[in-house]
Homo-oligomer: A and B are copies of this chain.
Amino acid sequence: MAGGPHILPNVPRISGGRPALPYEPICAVFRRYLHGQKLKFTPERAMILDAVLRQSGLFEAERLAVDLRRLGHRVSRATVYRTLAHLQDAGILKQVFFDNKQSYYEVIAGRQAYDYLICVSTGKVIEFSSEKLRSLRDEICRQHSFEPLSHQFHIFGLSPEAKSAANKSSGEADRKSGG
């Protein structure tokens, strides 16, 4: 994907993988996906999925590695990354990009993906979900004969707390954080 036209990797379907059953356990979804791809359900994959499902909100690959180790599981980083990719293909995870340091992940199986307000001052991330946004997305796509598979909407700015903090210390370190 580097170099020429960069083809994007595993982008999940807009509402997660087809939900065969209304409340099918996510683990079953994953096993079904693996089976369909002639891939194997290994203990490592089970552990990683488990750790993934324990996360609340966005998380990074490194966080998973740490959590797994804390649970006494030894899984290599390579396997974490490889499994993360499968989980995306299976429609269970969505990869989120909002800085050039690393990727973030979000569980989307069986629900709408979130969008985010990101405070550039504190780094705080606020989730939100907007039906209007999804309609607008579809409208825009229709205008371009484009078939949407997923989207990312990130709003960067100042959270309420950051604003009041900024007021108190009255413009001194404003640019500092930017570099």
Closest to A98 in B: B97
Is the beta-carbon distance between A123 and B6 smaller than 8 angstroms?
yes
Partner of A97 from B99, B122, B128 at Cβ < 8 Å: B99
State the interface size on chain A (CB cutoff 8 A). 71
Are the CB atoms of A8 and B60 closer together than 8 Å?
no
Residues of A37-59 whose CB lies within 8 A of B: 38, 57-59
Please pick, from B148, B154, B158, B179, the residue contacting A9 in the complex, using a CB distance under 8 A.
Answer: B179
Pair A155/B136 contact, Cβ less than 8 Å: no
Cα distance, A99 to B63, chains bound together (Å): 20
Given contacts A2-B59, A117-B146, A119-B146, 12 further A-B contacts (CB under 8 A): A1-B123, A3-B63, A5-B123, A8-B99, A8-B119, A8-B156, A38-B178, A120-B149, A126-B144, A130-B140, A149-B157, A152-B152
Please list 15 pairs of residues, one from A and one from B, whose beta carbons are closer than 8 Å in the complex, sorted by A's number. Answer: A1-B99, A2-B63, A2-B102, A11-B178, A97-B98, A100-B103, A117-B144, A126-B146, A128-B140, A146-B157, A146-B159, A147-B158, A148-B156, A149-B157, A153-B153
Across chains A and B, which 7 residue pairs bring their CB atoms closest together, nearest first?
A5-B123, A8-B120, A148-B157, A97-B97, A10-B178, A147-B158, A145-B160
